[in-house]
Structure 1
Amino acid sequence: MNGDIYLTPDPDANNYLKENPFGLLVGMLLDQQIPMERAFGAPYLLHTRLQQHYGKTLEPATIVALDEEQLIALFSEKPALHRFPKAMATKCHLLADRIVTDYHSETTAIWEEAPSGEELLSRLQALNGFGADKAKIFMALLGKRFKAAPAGWEQASDPFGRTNEVRSVADASSPEALEQIRNFKASMKAAAKA
């Protein structure tokens, strides 16, 4: 996969997300209750820890092969990959298991074999930790940044697929876009409180 992304200020982490579809999916999974940059920097850090401790890379089969305590330890090591490392390690394990079981360990099969945006939305929502909005945002990320979503993705991911708005990680192509996303989220929170 090749895309124009700026999901974290760390260029190595951004490049890793371009090269590892499962890492990108894990970043999206972790993108809740922590800053976006931290969530999308975590897969590269997890990959580094897997190499250091087990000589393995971040792939669905690698995660499934670890027992729960091993994965929790990797998530909890300082700095922790998430503010809730145990819960997110469990979600990551369930996500990996679904990909191994349903997609023969091929993460890209989730979107490459989806015949339509609606089907991709359904597939993403079936993944552990992916509700409607998260599924739509990830689909928009695939479509906007990687040109890797099937026909109809713009409509199926609405409002996140809109090309004239900067509102989610799907629009994170530069440091400036990242700031716009932060501002949009802050304005949405303020409007919700009003």
Structure 2
Amino acid sequence: MANGAGSERGTLAVTGDPAADELVLDDPFSLLLAMMLDQQIPMEWAFKGPARLAERLGDRYSVTAIAAMEPDELEAAFKEKPAIHRFPGSMARRCGELARHVVEHYDADAGAVWADVRSGKALFDRLRALPGYGDEKAKIFVAILAKRFGVAPRGWKAVAGPFADRHPRSVADIDGPEALAEVRMWKKNQKAAGKTKQD
């Protein structure tokens, strides 16, 4: 596999920072981490998180090193200004848990989470088992792999649900600034519609 995530060069472009986007495109653990961070903060901030963490950890930015890191040390890296997440403490813990899961279940190869998967359901189940991944996050990640990296096992659309269609609604649909703006607008409209329903 050429770039870790799949046989095709990814086209994900979320952050507006070429170096940050490259890290997520080329390093499967960074891709998993970025998606894990994508909650209650802007998408651009979440997907820039791995690059910020890599800058702070230097040569210790690896699955095995993070898995073995003392929780306080990892938390300090997350809390260094600008903080990597709105909730740096809890996200640092999840980052450590994610790294340990990859080490224990995939021999420290994050790309192995999807490398040999034969069905969309199997892929979803593997992603859903990752620390910090709920149903929706796992569905979006299935769509990211299929749409942006060419990893499209049989039945992926069924498990990705609404994120499989062509409507720009998630990070899986972002290949540049125009798509980012469209996804932002969709999210804004959804939030407004939700608030209206609650009133």
Structure 2-normalised TM-score? 0.92
Find the counterpart in structure 2 of residue 22 from structure 1: 29
Between the two proteins, what is the percent identity of the paired residues? 46
Amino acid at match of 1:100: V
TM-superposition CA deviations, 1:123-152 (whole Å, max 9, x none): 111111111100000110011001123222
Runs of 4+ that moved beyond 6 A: none
Q: Distance in 2 between matches of 1:113 and 1:144?
A: 18
Q: Is the 8 A contact 1:4 1:146 kept in 2?
A: yes
Q: Distance in 2 between matches of 1:111 and 1:71?
A: 26
Find the counterpart in structure 2 of residue 40 from structure 1: 47
Aligned-residue offset at 1:115: 1.5
| 1:76 correspondence with 2:79 | yes
Q: Which of 13, 38, 46 is 2:20 aligned to?
A: 13
Q: Which of 106, 110, 116 is 2:109 aligned to?
A: 106
Aligned-residue offset at 1:191: 1.2
TM-superposition CA deviations, 1:69-105 (whole Å, max 9, x none): 0100110111110011110000011111111001111
Aligned-residue offset at 1:188: 0.8
Find the counterpart in structure 2 of residue 138 from structure 1: 141
TM-superposition CA deviations, 1:97-118 (whole Å, max 9, x none): 1110011111111111221000
SS at structure 2 position matched to 1:130: coil
Aligned-residue offset at 1:19: 1.0
SS at structure 1 position matched to 2:162: coil
Find the counterpart in structure 1 of residue 96 from structure 2: 93
Q: Is the 8 A contact 1:136 1:158 kept in 2?
A: yes
Find the counterpart in structure 1 of residue 154 from structure 2: 151
Q: Which of 63, 66, 72 is 1:63 aligned to?
A: 66
Alignment RMSD (CA, Å): 0.9
Q: Is the 8 A contact 1:112 1:150 kept in 2?
A: no
Q: Which of 166, 178, 195 is 1:176 aligned to?
A: 178
Amino acid at match of 1:95: L
Which consecutive residues of structure 2, in runs of 5 or more, have no partner in the other structure?
4-8
153-162 vs 91-100, greater mean Cα deviation: 153-162
Which consecutive residues of structure 1, in runs of 5 or more, have no partner in the other structure?
none
Structure 1-normalised TM-score? 0.95
Q: Distance in 2 between matches of 1:63 and 1:151?
A: 33
Find the counterpart in structure 1 of residue 57 from structure 2: 50
